[in-house]
Amino acid sequence: MFINGEWVDARSGATFAVINPANGEHLGDVPDGAREDAELAITAADAAFHDWSMTTAYERADVLMGAWTLMRERADALAHVMTAEQGKPLRASAAEVAYGADFIRWFAEEARRLTGEWLPSARSNQRFLSVQAPVGVVAAITPWNYPMSMLTRKMAPALAAGCTVVLKPAEATPLNARAIFEVFHDAGVPPGVINMITTSQPAPIGDVLTTDPRVAKLTFTGSTAVGRVLASAAGGSLKRISVELGGHAPFIVMPDADPVHAAKGAAALKFLNAGQACISPNRIYVHQDHVEQFTATMVERVERVKTGNGSHEGIGCGPLVNDAAVAKVEAQVDDAVAKGASALVGGSRLTDGELAAGHFFAPTVLSGVTTDMAIYREETFGPVAPIIAYDDPDTVVDLANDTNYGLAAYVYTNDLSTALRTVEALRFGIIGVNDVNPTSASVPFGGMNDSGLGREGAREGLLEYLETKTAGIAI
Ligand code: NAP
């Protein structure tokens, strides 16, 4: 754990093991923090806040630029840490390191663009000034699926704003978090400004972070169920809250779209990170005129995906995070098949040879998916592409909107009017139009309804860490 600029053990001395999900290898042990450790981390962040908040934007931007440079210099080593601990193929890890680093650069640049306003008054002897100030100590809780970029997407704007941070990373990926903390520490972030508690018991740490009055803001990325609990607890002490939660993304192939192009896009997107992405398509609506060609292309692409240890050459799909994740995917596929869907490729766990030591599920294409199946409603978080044939393009957006989630959605069409009308009608925070990567540090990321509150990235991502102060000045 990292408290007040030092790597420390848990006060209790307890540790927990870190395991490679591809082969069960024991990667090491990390401190198993408890309430008292979280309280010490908050004390350090609280004590460091005054001085850090008084640094100039130029100083904070320089430190962040230094971190960006270090992250790029260490890109190869960071990608190896990620693949070993999280499982995604090395190429995907390298892409995440670059994506994660880009948040640091973006917010280093944004730090110096923090300005105020000079506002009009009805009184001739009065002037108004409006400025933005850092909120204070930020508690950040992050998931394992994007174990570096989810940290930089929170820590970089918090630091740019002048806040201090206490982070609790996911139990499955503390070594990724350690590597990111080394980057910030080596770049010159002062003691106490960033602190990290690793733990195998998240609930007591969550309780401290959401109830301690010294914490001003909670930023969380993870499941809707946990986000709801933490946001409610933080609301009790009126903390600022941003929560990035689950999704159930629709992927619509309109009648005028090229089904082969759309299928290639869907295949590339769906099996990224073995389907363990909040923006992964979970309902693929294909117009009935295209369903045969779309499905054939998808199956042909998926049959070529090699599953295995992400550190091996040519692997396209790595392991799932743990056995519970495999069991959840398996239950959804079994339920769909029992209700009439067909698994055209994949459809089961992979346990042959060296795969037996990891948590693997075969990349799967399900056809004939219908609304009564669990996969139609529940987030899968695994490598399963459910295809739904539809016949009326006028109602497909209603089908797509029929979910409590509202994170990402995709539409394939060659008609500009259809594209724009669909973007306007979809109730989702992020929409890809003929595009399977509608994300960047420069654009807002976040969802509606059960997918969360607030946005990360872009200028909006910085505003989440700022308060507005108004000064009325009599002259
Ligand atoms: P999770 O189970 O909600 O865990 C997320 C984080 O919360 C982990 O650090 C976890 O610790 C911690 N946590 C769990 N229970 C807690 C409690 N009672 N108090 C405090 N912390 C607690 O989610 P996950 O399985 O790691 O991540 C997958 C989910 O994240 C999916 O639903 C996915 O869609 C969502 N996600 C959303 C976005 C987005 O930007 N919208 C991005 C990525 C992922 P442990 O690791 O110890 O359990």
Q: Which residue has the tokens 């970029």?
A: 149
Q: Is the CB of 282 under 6 A from ligand 1?
A: no
291-301 per-position pLDDT tens digit:
999 999 999 99
Nearest atom in ligand 1 to the alpha carbon of residue 452 is 41
**What is the pLDDT averaged over residues 389-396?**
96
Burial tier of 49 (Cβ tally within 10 Å: 0-12, 13-18, 19+): buried
Residue 316: band (very low, low, confident or very high) from pLDDT cuts 50, 70, 90: very high
- Identify whether 163 is a catalytic site residue: no
| pLDDT over 70 percentage in the chain | 100
Q: Are 455 and 464 in contact (CB under 8 A)?
A: yes
Pairwise CA distance, residues 191 & 43, whole Å: 12
Q: Is the CB of 221 under 6 A from ligand 1?
A: yes
Q: Which of 244, 379, 456, 464 is catalytic?
A: 244
Pairwise CA distance, residues 404 & 401, whole Å: 8
Burial tier of 57 (Cβ tally within 10 Å: 0-12, 13-18, 19+): middle
Q: Which two tokens stand for residue 474?
A: 């009599």
Ligand 1 mean position to 28 CA, how many Å? 22
pTM for the whole thing? 0.97
Which of 425, 429, 427 is closest to 455 using CA atoms?
429
Q: Are 365 and 342 in contact (CB under 8 A)?
A: no
Residues 6+ apart with CB under 8 A from 124: none
pLDDT value, residue 427? 98
Which of 291, 274, 296 is closest to 344 using CA atoms?
296
**What is the pLDDT averaged over residues 37-66?**
98
Q: Which residue has the tokens 């769909």?
A: 336
Q: Which residue has the tokens 């174990």?
A: 147
pLDDT value, residue 182? 98
Return the best residue to mutate from 35, 149, 226, 359 for the ligand 1 pocket (most ligand atoms within 8 A of CB): 226
Structural domains in the chain, sorted by start? 2-245+449-474 (3.40.605.10), 249-433 (3.40.309.10)
Ligand 1 mean position to 95 CA, how many Å? 21
Nearest atom in ligand 1 to the alpha carbon of residue 321 is 25
Q: Which residue has the tokens 């004939």?
A: 368
CA distances from 429 to 270, 401, 407 (A): 19, 12, 5
Ligand 1 mean position to 169 CA, how many Å? 9
Q: Which of 39, 278, 317, 456 is catalytic?
A: 278
- Identify whether 317 is a catalytic site residue: no
**What is the pLDDT averaged over residues 126-152?**
98
Q: How many residues belong to the chain?
A: 475
404-420 per-position pLDDT tens digit:
999 999 999 999 999 99
